[in-house]
Amino acid sequence: MIGFLYQQLHGRRLLVTAAIGLTLLGVAGTVFAAFPLKWILDKIVNDRDPGLPLLEPLITACDSLAPGTRPPGAGGHTQFGVLLASGLVLLALGLIEALVTFVRLSVATSVGQDLEAGLRNRVFDHLQHVPLAWHSGQRVGELTQRVSGNISDIGKLVTDGLVDLLSGVLTLLGVLAVMLVISWQFTVLSMCVVPPLFLIVACYTRWTKRASKQVARAAGRVAEAAAATIGAITEVKVFTAQRWASGKFADRVEAQRRPGLRAGRRQAEFGPLVIVLLTLSNTVIVTIGAWIAAGHGHEFGLWFLTIPAGSLTVGTLTVFLAYSKLLYQPMRDLAKLMLLVSTASAAVGRVREILEQPCEQRPGEHGRSSPVRLHGEVAFRGVVFGYRQGDLPVLRGVDLTVRAGSRLALVGLSGGGKSTMVKLLPRLHDPWHGAVTIDGLDTREYPLDVLRGNIAMVLQDSVLFEGTVRDNLLLGRPGASQEQIETAARQACVHDTINRLPGGYDTVVHEGGRNFSSGQRQRMAIARAILRDAPVLILDEPTASLDVEAEVEVMRAVECLAEGRTVIMISHRLSLLGHVDEIAVLQAGRIVEQGSYQQLKARGGVFARMLAEQNRYATEPVELSMVDHAGAGEENEVRTT
């Protein structure tokens, strides 16, 4: 985890070094803050001067302010002078500490926030470049939790934890050094608690870390359940499934609560255990120290330790006790720190899992140079592909050629692999064997941004993103003028609809485009595709979810879009295939028939049977006149593979 954090702090290391320097200054202030108390007590009880050459001028200056004469017997400075000088030093140290704390916390907050923001952007960007195959195995809510919640946990460690940890460790070392100078014997006594403390810390850290990991995983499952239910709120309401959804959600919340409770309980046990240990050590020091400071006997022996009588003044004992308090504070804070570190460490693991996923080629990482605009001849050559290695492939040797500028309809039974086939074109997946080519070149040879820039897709249910209608259309061609946008919208038969909206092109699109009908969304997606002006167009059942009226409008828009492009259109509605040049039938992972509508119908094969089947359930059989003009006069041979 340390290595990961160090890596993330790149560019802010100077700031961190400054924060460490300030922490050192603050710790020095804390460590020396106990001394003025010793000077005061030693002066009052034993009439002893501080004996620090650095302070002499200050005390002398304070002496001159002393009311009346010096008390008789006073060797050097007046009580007033020592008291006032000690008070001033105390005040100065306090002010330095306050200032340093402010700067240190500000720096920590800024570094923590920067780290969080930087890491969040990096993870989000990485997520978009990870192959689709990896995404298929993930849950949206879970990933969202990693990007938001888990990264916050890491930021929290930097903002809250690391400052405490650093100043704690430095205070510990500083205090230890001063205590050793004051009385090494008492320091050794105080340190007796360290071995049991170390054991307790080791055990509890392990337990808390395990629980934190479970909490992080469970939090992901909670987020996932919430996202899934809220995303499908219409279905939940329609099926009156609220109780079922709440029950499922409550189970997940419970699964998160249990390890959270365990982690909290461990933390609750840890704090008091440390306090008991520290109280034991303190009691021993107070009683033995007071005995020695009171001047009883010649010396005090305890196992291998011999503490000479009179080796401790009341002032020294008080300072020593103040220091042991300082020493114990960081130890007590360990419980809080332990939880922060464990939570952050679990979060780092989950975030790293994403960052370690290999990326697809990023825009600009060009393989070989290639023309930016392709002609659009598409071919599948012996393509074998499946989603999971080891499973039976979905495509089992697909051979298909689509001439540049022609229109091909891909038909077949549901689940046959039509959508899978077209997903291979923009390399959303790569084939196991064989190749997909455009203009005779394997798609893997093109830079990914060039390849995808030459393909436009309109899917069954188009997604609109949050933003305005204009923002959504501009996705097709960033930088397009208003005139170009409106022309595209007109061609897609959606311009009038947009104009009727209260905000026109500035109307805000809600999440997923919920404030638009399916037909409007489809036509906007078509306008987006028109703006993209790609030579290859993929239409994956663009009218599947539409009523007849919307279907007619969308098909009219499709007509505009298809003009002069290579079109591959997936459709179950064979009645819509009148305008295509060729139809290819996919069955059992292979293209089994290819030809014009008329040819395939006349052939009496798979397509003819599908057509007959569809007509059996239609109130009126499909009008051949709709398709006649497409197939008429074509002498294409029916190809069977």
Ligand X SMILES: Nc1ncnc2c1ncn2[C@@H]1O[C@H](COP(=O)(O)OP(=O)(O)OP(=O)(O)O)[C@@H](O)[C@H]1O
Task: List residues near ligand X by CB under 6 A.
Answer: 136, 387, 394, 412, 414-420
Residue whose CB is less far from ligand X, 29 or 417? 417
- Minimum distance from CB of 392 to ligand X (Å)? 10
Q: Are 385 and 432 in contact (CB under 8 A)?
A: yes
Q: Two tokens at 155?
A: 């930021």
- Minimum distance from CB of 612 to ligand X (Å)? 19
Residue whose CB is less far from ligand X, 229 or 420? 420
Helices (H), 137-241: 140-145, 151-156, 162-182, 184-190, 194-231, 233-238
Residue whose CB is less far from ligand X, 109 or 419? 419
Closest listed residue to residue 432, CA positions, set 392, 402, 400: 392
Phi, psi dihedral angles at 634 (to 5 degrees): -80, 130
Residue whose CB is less far from ligand X, 112 or 434? 434
- Show the beta-strand stretches assigned E in 392-521: 395-402, 407-412, 433-438, 441-442, 455-458, 467-468, 508-509
Residue whose CB is less far from ligand X, 386 or 447? 386
Residue whose CB is less far from ligand X, 197 or 585? 585
- Minimum distance from CB of 587 to ligand X (Å)? 10
Residue whose CB is less far from ligand X, 416 or 595? 416
Look up residue 504 and give its DSSP letter.
G
Residue 415 zone, left/alpha/beta (φ > 0; ψ -120 to 50; rest)? left
How would you classify the pairing of strands 407-412 and 433-438? Answer: unpaired
Residue whose CB is less far from ligand X, 414 or 481? 414
Residue whose CB is less far from ligand X, 387 or 465? 387
Q: Are 515 and 432 in contact (CB under 8 A)?
A: no
- Minimum distance from CB of 415 to ligand X (Å)? 4
* Helix, coil or strand: residue 153: helix
- Minimum distance from CB of 1 to ligand X (Å)? 33
CA–CA distances in Å: residue 63 to residues 75, 85, 90, 311: 13, 9, 17, 29
User: How many residues are present in the chain?
Assistant: 641
- Minimum distance from CB of 385 to ligand X (Å)? 9
Phi, psi dihedral angles at 384 (to 5 degrees): -120, 130
- Minimum distance from CB of 414 to ligand X (Å)? 3
Task: Specify burial of residue 350 (Cβ count, 10 A radius: 0-12, 13-18, 19+).
Answer: buried
Residue whose CB is less far from ligand X, 418 or 470? 418
- Minimum distance from CB of 460 to ligand X (Å)? 8
Half-sphere exposure of 353 (CA within 13 A, CB side): 15
The partner residues of 188 in beta bridges, in order of sequence, read: none
- Minimum distance from CB of 459 to ligand X (Å)? 10
Q: Two tokens at 289?
A: 């120290």
- Alpha carbon distance 273, 615 (integer Å): 80
Q: Which residue has the tokens 């960081």?
A: 330
Look up residue 639 and give its DSSP letter.
B
- Minimum distance from CB of 418 to ligand X (Å)? 4
- Minimum distance from CB of 606 to ligand X (Å)? 14
Helix (H) or strand (E) holding 270: helix 242-293
- Minimum distance from CB of 500 to ligand X (Å)? 33
How far is C-alpha 560 from the geometric centre of its chain's CA atoms?
A: 41
Residue whose CB is less far from ligand X, 244 or 387? 387
Residue whose CB is less far from ligand X, 168 or 416? 416
Q: Are 550 and 511 in contact (CB under 8 A)?
A: no
Which amino acid is it at 96? I
